[in-house]
Structures are given as C-alpha cells and as structure tokens.
Chain A
Amino acid sequence: MNTLIYTAGLGMVCLAMEILDLRKLLVPVILLGLAVIFGVNLMSWADSGPVIFAGLDMSSMLLVDHFSVAFNGVLIVAAAFLFAMSHDFYKDEQHHLSDYLTIIVFILCGAMVLTSYSNLVMMFLGIEIVSISLYILAGSRRHDLRSNEAGMKYFLMGSFASAVLLFGITLLYGASGSFKLTEIASYAATYGMDSPMFLVGSLLVVCAFLFKVAAVPFHFWSPDVYEGSPSLVTTLMATLVKVSFFAAFYRLMSSGFAGIDPHTSTILVIVAAATMIVGNLVALKQINFKRLLAYSGIAHAGYMLLAILSLKTNSASALLFYGATYILATIGAFAVALPVFSSTGKETIDAFDGLGRKKPFIAGMLTLSMLSLAGIPPLAGFLGKYYIFSEAIHNGYVAITLLAVITSIIGVYYYFKVILAMYTKAGEDTEIQFPMLYSIVGIICVALSILLGLWPGGLMGLL
C-alpha cells in the first residue's frame, strides 16, 4: 500500500517539476524515487497483512501479500530500466519529456494496483489506469500517421474489451452479490457451477484478460500497435504491462475463482495451444523487428498461460520467474534496438546487418538477449520455460506442454534470424550512435539474465 502511495506521489513530483522547469533533473529524480520505492516495497515484505490507511481497514480493496510484493519488485526494476532508456530516447522531445515520463509513472501505479487488488472494482481501475495511459502513449507521435493509427486501433479495441470486462464483472456481482474476491471465491466454491450467470460472467472476464495479454484469437491489435507506437512505448507494453496483466490474471484465477473450473480450463488449454502455434509460426515470416517481438510476445503469452492453468503453490513463483526473465531479455533486446533504429532510420531486421563487426560488444548483448528469449541454457529464459513446463506436467497438462516444447523449438529459428543478420551480413556504413545509458541498461539486463540462469533460487524461492 505504501509502495502504491509513494509511486503516485512520485508522479505528482514529476508534474511539479514540469511547472518548476526542472526537466533536466527529471530522469535522475525518478530513478532515485524508484530506488526509494523499491526499498519501501522490500520493507512491506515483512509486515504484509491487513492494509490500514488513515485508520480504515482497506483489505477488502487492496491486499499486500508476498505475491504482490514480489511482482511489484520486478515491475519497479523494469520501470527503472525504461526510465533510464527514456533519457536518450526522448532527447529531441525535451518539452514533452515530463508528460511522457509522468504517464509511465502512473502506468506503474496501475500495474501495482493490478498485482495487489482484492476487489473487482480495484481490478477494473488498475486495468483502466494502465490502458488509458497506454492509448495516449501509443498515439503520442501526433504527426506520424502510423503512431496515430496504433493509438486509435489500441483505443477502439481496448475500450471494447473494457466494456466486455465490465459486463462480466456485473454478472459476477449479480450472481454473488459482491465485488470482493473472497466472497466471489466462496460463492464459486458453493454454487459456481450451477449458476449460468456466474459462468457467463467469469467467461467474459477471462476473455477480456485474454485480450489484454494478447492471446490468440484476441491478439490482432498487438502486432499493429507494437509496430506503430514509438519504440520505447513498445518496450513498455511488451514488458511491464504484459507481466502486470498476467499477475492480475493469476490473482483473479487463484483467489477470485477459487481454482479453475473444467469449462474455463478447456477454453484456456485451447487458447494457449492456439497462441503458441500462431505466435511462433507467424513470427517466422516477419521482417520488422518490433512486429517480430510482438509475435514473440504472443508466443510467450501462450507459455505464461500454462502457469495460469496449473494454479498450484509453485506456479506463482514459476510465473514470477518467467515474467522476470522475459522482461530482462526483452528490455535487453530493445536497449540495443532503440539506438540502432534511431541511427539507421529503419525498424526492420536488416537494420542490424553488420552490427557484429561494427560493434561486437553490443551485438553480443543482443545475441544473449535473443538466446534467453529463445530459451537456450544457461540463460535464464531456459529455466523460466523449464519451471513453467514442469509445473504444467505435474498438474496433468502433458499434451499441451509437449506442444509448448515443440513450438519453442520452432521459435529458435526466428530469434536466430536476428543473430545471423548481425554476424553474416555486410551492412551499410552508417555510424551507429550508442549512448552510454543504453549500454548500461543492456549490460545489467544481460548480466541479470545470466545470473538468474545460474542461480535461479533467488527468485524461485520467494513465493
């Protein structure tokens, strides 16, 4: 709870700094603030329990438990990487800098609500805080038609999904008489299967979540929006936002619906299978790097759905571990891609041609990130997949896990396409500007990926 309040306060500070004309200090202040918030978050690990705010018990709205503290920690670190990269990314747009950064701080607030809600009202508010802010950021290049298109498409489909979510929440409320997750869970345990209103409601809410995490068949927005948005916003959507939606989805399934009922599990198995197949196969044909990572994100969403299907004690930590490794690898890849895009002016894979010769060190960072995404040992991405797959097999989902293994082998091909472009093709002679902060972010991400791959216990033992 304190974590959330301080983050909202940080957003206010950013707005105040715009008024006081202190834009130059904005990024350092935000990074410092996030370090403080990370510490506050760590302290709430010990005293998690009922949330008291201004003398009122808020536990029916927000619940601070180990799950939320651990996910908040991961999200804060991801946000810190994004802010570090924003310093150079928004160099030419200094007069809008505080707008963009403030919106990202508030997205972090929404993501924190999503990891710790215990009431459907808070869940709805969290989703909307994140989504509405993202509509603005996706369309934030006002004179670029592609950015406009991305913003509008995301807005129309996103608000459609929000309406579906609301209808689902309303039916759940009508059936169970409450928005609280605990009361909904006890209703689901007693009458859940016999009440058509409850079943339809839960189905609609699940569909809205599948839309938000870009699972097939609700994935159509994601490649277009990822491609059209400014690259930093793409990074934000692919990492922080996606993982926070998965945390929210997991929380809903585990504490709201009291485990998974047979109907939902059948639907989720089919959706997860389709997501893995479509995500990996369509990614094979992509030539645009952002689109490639959009389809790779769809495929990873399919793997993370396996953790939601499993829903046993270890699957929360498997989801946390997978989310963390996915965030590290994706941010590591974008930390290399962002400066390459702005130097070459291209966003296709051939923008990386010859990078291996021109900048061997930076090409090495991208290679390791791609290998982690593909799930090659000893990088963390491999262990992330391993934990999720073994959880799924323990819970009896053998066939779908087999499919997941096969599709992730197919996936190796398109990650290697990027690596091959760097090392085997001769590129143009454009000089690639590589600012300091990007390489720091890239190095930290890759180093953490390797560390987590060698010593997974640090994250796996948390939940």
Chain B
Amino acid sequence: MEHTTQLVPLNWYLLLSTFLFCLGVMGVLIRRNAIIILMCIELMLNSVNMLLVAFSSYSGNSDGQVFVFFIMVVAAAEVAVGLALLVSIYRNLGSTDIDLLNKLKW
C-alpha cells in the first residue's frame, strides 16, 4: 500500500526543505531582532524534520521519524534557554536588537 506522503516525489520534498532551510539561514543572517532570529532557527530545524519524515517514509525505516521527536525535544530545550537569555538581556538593555550587543570585540 502506498503512503500518502509518497504521492509526491522524494526530490520535491528535498527541494522544499532545502528552500525552507535556506530561508531560515537568510533570516538569521539578515534580521537583527533576536526573536525573529530564534523563529528563523526554528524554521531551519523544522525543515530538517520534514525532510527526515520524507526520507524515513520513502525508505520504510522508522528511525528517521523517531529522530524527529528527539529534534523537537532538543529544540524546545534550546528555545527555553534562548528566551531566558533574551529576557535577561531585555531587562538590562530594554531592547531585543542584537546590534546593541557590542561590548565584546577585539
């Protein structure tokens, strides 16, 4: 029996997630607001999740789908830490613009 995921060729999944990943990379590089950067990193992680599910569904091997849960858990932990750091910066600076973080440079 064919999965519904397999109605779309694998290459399209690959292209779509590469596109989303690059979008995330661009966002991280261009945007200056720490919250938007966090969202862009989430976009990168989720594009990887989609690709993993597609690969795992096509190869009939469930390891990839289990790994997706690991990624979700780790991403949640990462965001929790990131937001905590952001809150303490906001309390000190009153802003979430990362260009204001310029105390350390050579």
Residues of A within 8 A of B (CB): 121, 124-125, 128, 132, 135-136, 139, 142-143, 145-146, 148-153, 155-156, 159-160, 162-164, 166-167, 170, 173-174, 177-179, 223-224, 227-228, 282, 285-286, 291
Q: Is A227 within 8 A of B81, CB to CB?
A: no
Q: If the complex has contacts A135-B82, A163-B48, are A224 and B74 also in contact, measured as CB distance less than 8 A?
A: no
Contact of B78 among A132, A142, A148 (CB under 8 A): A132
Q: Is B55 within 8 A of A156, CB to CB?
A: no
For this complex, 7 residue pairs linking A to B, each with C-beta atoms less than 8 Å apart, are A148-B88, A149-B101, A155-B81, A156-B37, A166-B45, A170-B48, A174-B51
- 4 interchain residue pairs of minimum CB distance: A163-B44, A224-B104, A174-B55, A149-B101
The answer to whether B23 has its CB under 8 Å from any CB of chain A is no
Q: Is A282 within 8 A of B101, CB to CB?
A: no
B92 to chain A, nearest CB (A): 5
Please indicate the chain B residues that have their CB under 8 angstroms from the CB of A149 in the complex. Answer: 89, 101-104
Given contacts A124-B74, A228-B103, A291-B106, 15 further A-B contacts (CB under 8 A): A125-B74, A145-B93, A145-B103, A148-B89, A148-B101, A151-B85, A152-B85, A155-B81, A156-B41, A159-B78, A159-B82, A163-B24, A163-B44, A167-B21, A167-B48
Docked pose: A143 CA to B28 CA in angstroms: 26
Q: Count residues of chain B with CB under 8 A from any CB of chain A.
A: 42
Q: Is A159 within 8 A of B41, CB to CB?
A: yes
Q: Is B101 within 8 A of A152, CB to CB?
A: yes
Give the residues from 67 to 81 in chain B that come closer than 8 angstroms, CB to CB, to chain A: 67, 70-71, 74, 77-78, 81
Docked pose: A177 CA to B61 CA in angstroms: 8
Question: Chain B interface secondary structure, helix, strand, loop or mixed?
Answer: helix
Contact of A286 among B14, B70, B105, B106 (CB under 8 A): B106
Residues of B within 8 A of A (CB): 14, 21, 24-25, 28, 34, 37, 41, 44-45, 47-48, 51-52, 55-56, 59, 61, 63-64, 67, 70-71, 74, 77-78, 81-82, 84-86, 88-89, 92-93, 98, 101-106
Docked pose: A145 CA to B93 CA in angstroms: 8
Please indicate the chain A residues that have their CB under 8 angstroms from the CB of B37 in the complex. Answer: 156
Question: Chain A interface secondary structure, helix, strand, loop or mixed?
Answer: helix
B8 to chain A, nearest CB (A): 15
Docked pose: A235 CA to B85 CA in angstroms: 21
Please indicate the chain B residues that have their CB under 8 angstroms from the CB of A173 in the complex. Answer: 52, 55-56, 63-64, 67
Please indicate the chain B residues that have their CB under 8 angstroms from the CB of A148 in the complex. Answer: 85, 88-89, 92, 101
Most B C-beta atoms less than 10 A away, residue of A125, A145, A285: A145
Q: Is A132 within 8 A of B55, CB to CB?
A: no
Closest partner residue, chain A, to B50 (CB atom): A170
Closest partner residue, chain A, to B86 (CB atom): A152
Q: If the complex has contacts A135-B81, A152-B98, are A160 and B59 also in contact, measured as CB distance less than 8 A?
A: no
Closest partner residue, chain A, to B52 (CB atom): A170
Closest partner residue, chain B, to A200 (CB atom): B18
